[in-house]
Amino acid sequence: MKLHEIGEREVVKMILNFVDEVPPGKNDDAHMFHKGFLLKIDGFAFHNSMLPWNTYYDMGWKAITMVTSDLVSKGSKPIVFAASLGINPSDNVENLIDTIKGLRDSAHSYNSKFIGGDTNSSQKDIWIDVVGIGELVVKYPIPRRNKIEDGDYVITTGKYGLTGAAFHVYYNNLDWQELIKKYNRIFYSTKRPQVQLSVLDLITELHEYIKVSMDVSDGLAYTLWTLSEINNIAIELKDIPLDEEVLDYAQEFGLNPLNLALYGGEEFNIVFIVS
Amino acid sequence: MKLHEIGEREVVKMILNFVDEVPPGKNDDAHMFHKGFLLKIDGFAFHNSMLPWNTYYDMGWKAITMVTSDLVSKGSKPIVFAASLGINPSDNVENLIDTIKGLRDSAHSYNSKFIGGDTNSSQKDIWIDVVGIGELVVKYPIPRRNKIEDGDYVITTGKYGLTGAAFHVYYNNLDWQELIKKYNRIFYSTKRPQVQLSVLDLITELHEYIKVSMDVSDGLAYTLWTLSEINNIAIELKDIPLDEEVLDYAQEFGLNPLNLALYGGEEFNIVFIVS
């Protein structure tokens, strides 16, 4: 059977049958491989991930942020990153170097080291895989699967809707060169996405009340739906924090800003469920 | 400038300018990201690495062994592995599952865990990146770059020539289905390559005499040449340990078995220089 016939969710389920379990559990955001240390590996092919206004530098930056988001959501601060790159030999050297600079600068923005890695020959465009190691600020990683009960609260870091607006520009083929002048924050959110490390202070302070955490890289609706499904519980949404530029953008194009907030993705905020 | 115009060695040199240094040093086989722990990430695209007689399971197996070889050569025993895979959606599910099984079984053969990772969509064939974490059995990782002096000895684990013979079959388009019956060890060396963890006992015992170590995944000649170049010293070769099947194969095809031993690659032995 072909992979596209069964869908990504089913593929992941099949793979998990062959995987060893470590805390906080299979299919969680990052894994504790040794007392106090978490590991996350994540990657993408550039053709899937590079928007028309993105540079190679942006792609390196984002790859580190993606991994940081998973490490931080489980309660660890990143300490080191390495990358493996697949490169087409007919690509420009400058593009490779820009990608590496993005990786390094993004790692440094998280007070972490970028220690290199590996390069290989790809047949088509660039692929990138980043591994990050995080040191726990709490005793155990915060699981995704825990008993959520009636009356628990959902809280989230950051604001929503910027990347949703950026994807709206892309999928509707709007004039980004013009729009970028007006909606700087919307475009910047897909160029230099940043995880707020101050979230770790929140985790340290509140950790006895935090039952569940999950990063929001696949979109707020997807994240909440996943948590709702695992726990077989309904989640009521109130006061989704929206970025002001999203309200302006939604008004200009006659959109519901909540849709931009719920179905965006790559926002690298973190959702907690607290008792 | 295009990447293929400047060559891999120059590309690596350029990248190293943007990388943070941790022990044992830039461009070494694996890196100490925290006291007592090494990290290695390594990968390949299947189109570059899959010989006609290889299965997807073989590829998963080899990917783990490649990383193990680097961890062990620096004096650490592997404890955990994770992988990131790029998969073409029109690939068969069975191929993916076989790859995962190979990854898991190979990790288990090194008394390590395989904890999963990430899957992505590739445009062409499968790519695979594996990260491994190793726990040092000695206090500091063994560097590649150290002062080699006149009178030091080169010692190596394992035997040589099997993979060289396998590549000879491939590049000369010989009838592998026939030859595999007679030269089982030659083909097996490219299907289930294995690092001997007992090397770590040797390292523990001899570590005060070991000045340098390097894995031999790029071929014995390349490894020795690299060490010779770094140290600006000549290395004299005596008694290269050859597998018996290599002698038979070389005789049948009128080859110098030393050439098979020197220019093979993917042998996953380790070379030490001891005082």
Q: Report if residue A73 sits inside a domain.
A: yes
Q: Report if residue A47 sits inside a domain.
A: yes
Q: Tell me how many domains chain B contains.
A: 2
Lowest mean pLDDT, pick from A103-117, A141-155, A183-197, B243-257: A141-155
Q: Report if residue B230 sits inside a domain.
A: yes
- Kindly identify which residue of chain A lies nearest to residue B118, measuring between CA atoms: A42
Q: Report if residue B245 sits inside a domain.
A: yes
- Range(s) of the domain holding residue A23: 3-136
Q: Report if residue A26 sits inside a domain.
A: yes
Instruction: List A residues 103-162 in contact with B (Cβ-Cβ < 8 A).
Output: 104, 107, 113-125, 127, 129, 131, 133, 135
Cα–Cα distance, B187 to A256 (Å, whole number): 61
Q: Report if residue B54 sits inside a domain.
A: yes
Q: Which residues of B touch A36 (CB under 8 A)?
A: none
How far away is chain A from the Cα of B270, in angstroms, using its nearest Cα? Answer: 19
Is A47 in Cβ contact with B123 (below 8 Å)? yes
Is B45 in Cβ contact with A113 (below 8 Å)? no
Is A117 in Cβ contact with B1 (below 8 Å)? no
B1 in contact with A, Cβ within 8 Å: yes
Tell me: do A8 and A125 sit in the same domain.
Answer: yes
How far away is chain A from the Cα of B75, in angstroms, using its nearest Cα? Answer: 18
Tell me: do A173 and A64 sit in the same domain.
Answer: no
pLDDT computed for residue B27 by the predictor: 86
pLDDT computed for residue A230 by the predictor: 85
Sign of CA dihedral B18, A36, B109, B56: negative
HEC per residue, chain A: CEHHHHCHHHHHHHHHCCCCCCCCCCCCCCEEEECCEEEEEEEEEHHHHCCCCCCHHHHHHHHHHHHHHHHHHCCEEEEEEEEEEEECCCCEHHHHHHHHHHHHHHHHHCCCEEEEEEEEECCCCCEEEEEEEEEECCCCCCCCCCCCCCCCEEEECCCECHHHHHHHHHHCCCCHHHHHHHCHHHHHCCCCCCCCCCHHHHHHHHCCCEEEEEECCCCHHHHHHHHHHHHCCCCCCCCCCECHHHHHHHHHHCCCHHHHHHCCCCCCCEEEEEC
Q: What is the pLDDT along chain B (275 residues), one digit of tens a residue?
A: 888 888 878 888 899 999 999 999 998 999 999 999 999 999 999 988 999 999 999 999 999 999 999 999 999 999 999 999 999 888 899 999 999 999 999 999 999 999 999 998 888 888 999 999 999 999 999 998 778 889 999 999 999 999 999 999 999 999 999 999 999 999 999 999 999 999 999 999 999 999 999 999 889 999 999 999 888 889 999 889 999 999 999 999 999 999 999 998 899 999 999 98
- Kindly identify which residue of chain A lies nearest to residue B2, measuring between CA atoms: A92
**Under 8 Å between Cβ of B191 and B170:** no
Tell me: do B127 and B157 sit in the same domain.
Answer: no
Q: In this structure, what token pair is assigned to residue A149?
A: 């009960």
pLDDT computed for residue B1 by the predictor: 86
Tell me: do B131 and B157 sit in the same domain.
Answer: no
Cα–Cα distance, A104 to A84 (Å, whole number): 13
pLDDT computed for residue A123 by the predictor: 83
CA-based R_g, chain A, Å: 19
ipTM associated with this complex:
0.95
pLDDT computed for residue B33 by the predictor: 96
B13 in contact with A, Cβ within 8 Å: no
> Which of A86, A102, A136 is the last residue before a domain boundary?
A136
A39 in contact with B, Cβ within 8 Å: yes
**Under 8 Å between Cβ of A217 and A66:** yes
> Which of A69, A101, A136 is the last residue before a domain boundary?
A136
Reported as a single tens digit per residue, the pLDDT across A161-219 is: 999 999 999 999 999 999 999 999 999 999 999 999 999 999 999 999 999 999 998 89
- The CATH number given to whatever domain includes residue A30 is 3.30.1330.10
Cα–Cα distance, B40 to B96 (Å, whole number): 23
- The CATH number given to whatever domain includes residue A167 is 3.90.650.10
- Among A43, A91, A120, beta carbon nearest to B44: A120
Reported as a single tens digit per residue, the pLDDT across A225-242 is: 999 988 888 999 988 999
pLDDT computed for residue B145 by the predictor: 77
Tell me: do B26 and B122 sit in the same domain.
Answer: yes
Is B33 in Cβ contact with A80 (below 8 Å)? yes
> Which of B136, B166, B195 is the last residue before a domain boundary?
B136
Tell me: do A31 and A104 sit in the same domain.
Answer: yes
Tell me: do A124 and A191 sit in the same domain.
Answer: no
pLDDT computed for residue B93 by the predictor: 92
Tell me: do B101 and B201 sit in the same domain.
Answer: no
Q: Report if residue A146 sits inside a domain.
A: no
B9 in contact with A, Cβ within 8 Å: no
Q: Report if residue B132 sits inside a domain.
A: yes
Tell me: do A110 and A226 sit in the same domain.
Answer: no
Tell me: do B22 and B125 sit in the same domain.
Answer: yes
Reported as a single tens digit per residue, the pLDDT across A55-101 is: 999 999 999 999 999 999 999 999 999 999 999 888 899 999 999 99
- Kindly identify which residue of chain B lies nearest to residue A99, measuring between CA atoms: B15
Tell me: do B84 and B158 sit in the same domain.
Answer: no
- Among A3, A104, A120, beta carbon nearest to B87: A3
Tell me: do B161 and B269 sit in the same domain.
Answer: yes
Kindly report the number of other CB atoms within 10 A of residue A264's CB atom.
Answer: 26
Encoded amino acid at B275, one letter: S
**Under 8 Å between Cβ of A11 and B119:** yes
